[in-house]
Structure 1
């Protein structure tokens, strides 16, 4: 009995140590549970297997020979009387129902201070039981939080061996067993539980004191009560103990899949540049507002000179072909404002310093303006989103400005008219939004 108790203590210590180490490795999850005790980790699978160990008190309630009363606890741990040790394993077929097997070791003796004659009975028992998770059965897991409640019922086979008295026969008995196990989860995959079990033997010939043995044809109806506390450790790849994991049924999975597809469709139907062409069909997703586009969202450029026809016509008619100096100056001011306010920009993919293909028309517009206005120069300012370190983004923003400068220089604009600047990270948008970040990975222009 002492060896069994030492073995149980070792098991409990090892389990708690191992899970404490695991909790340190998963500090983020532990902080989540500590901050929100009722919020569980959701998974597609759950841990079906668990192993259990328990200690407690057992007491044979009947039958006893006259003059005998049970029972005296056999050991003391931390001031708690212990005369029963148990080990078990459980497998859940579903979140609601499963089976379990237990081995229990009981040491029954006379009750202290009762005036009972001395006796000692060793009781070894094996049980096979069905298990029902009542919290799930009644669908109250959200209200229960970390608490749980299991009901178990099945059959037992036991061996009774008296250690005192005139009888010296080991007997095998059998009957039914059932009980309730309140639980409380302390770690993601570890819980503590209390258990109240009632054993009723339909085959028993010994009295619990072991001094009386009835005839084989005269079965006694023996009853034994066991109260215990223990530890349950779930086994498997699930994020949380199987008794608490939130399992989605097939209908919920289908609904989640449908919602995901709807979300994807909504994203596809977005029109970031407001040109009337959904993004999933838009080959040029940063076209200038008010400029005509074709069915694929590309700004119309019939003469293929890299400048959208609407802008080219506007510039040519209002600037180069307008004989009214005042009107030309006013129109030129409007174009400069259009450029300086950021409506004409070059955009970049994540981590890239080369403009994406959709930016060619905007760079072409700047090129056309500078060629038609040789007295003008331009500041080219680069930006990056907030993904990555500040040092990296500062350099990336500078490289983007330099790349655009190189393009304009090779297209015939003197290097002295091109000035580059870097503004580093643009934190004006939500860094968690992919679409918002696309708008700040850019270079903008300022005509001087």
Structure 2
């Protein structure tokens, strides 16, 4: 039995050391390669001044720098060089000093194409913080007058502008904009006191404003600031991803990018996804189980429950933790899986889950930490389908059996062990 236990323990340790690290499937890799790794959406807020250059009634005029102008827009960039934005603008026109009194309101909504001059002209070769956008399009607008004509003057409009950008962070940019708007079918002058002489394209407004652009999305950069260098970097990452994915780390004949078990035991048969074949789901690959049956005479019944129970109770099945952490390390989750499979195959059995900590820190803190580690493993087992009533948690505090000054030795005792009964 000791020889059998020794062979089986070596097998178990191999399984734990080569635990499944679930890797990206082929589709995930393809998605990462095809995805544009930049943010596309932004929201823009601006405020400033306006100047209606025509058309105004004779004797009426506004200040050279006339308040108030404001606009808000939503922009989507299909690429770092081109996008579309939908925006709304508001302007108020009032008399200048020593001219007849008037007040009118002009509002518009436009759909505009946006060209990123900064990217088109490769600004990134000399600056990463300054950019320029050209925007232009068509929309609808309306004019109302407080003390002039009655009703609302509805118009179409064309719009063209230039926006300078200064990047404050990956999420915010400061902007300064100069825009010209020309109206079609305008019936009344901007002061509202008389009608226009022509309704073709007679009304012209200039806006100058400053504002902020807020970038939305989960990626690090917005399209406004993605240049050719970023493309080359991204290409290198893609090539590296493909090269890495085509490696076969565990030599099982399945490339890592397709392999759901990239560290399977060498020489053990795997399926098309690189997973060790384990028909009876007892945690032991069929080929190794067949070897044990043949060598130790298990009469075709697989590795005996008594052997598995001795492995568990003998401390060969463990779950390990990083320093000051109650979250199991990924590679040691195979220990929980081994216990879960055993309990599912033996519904009459229960298990103590026993937590330990190293000697770094106070004893009271380590007692609490060992309890938390055991509770964490219990929760994993419950999530895997084991009834909570079959699991008993014990916090054993510090394990002083190793040299506390050895980093490697302390890693060994930061663990959870099991006792099945």
Normalised TM-score (structure 2): 0.48
- Considering only CA atoms, is the larger Rg found in Structure 1 or Structure 2? 1
Higher relative contact order (CA 8 A, sep 6+): 2
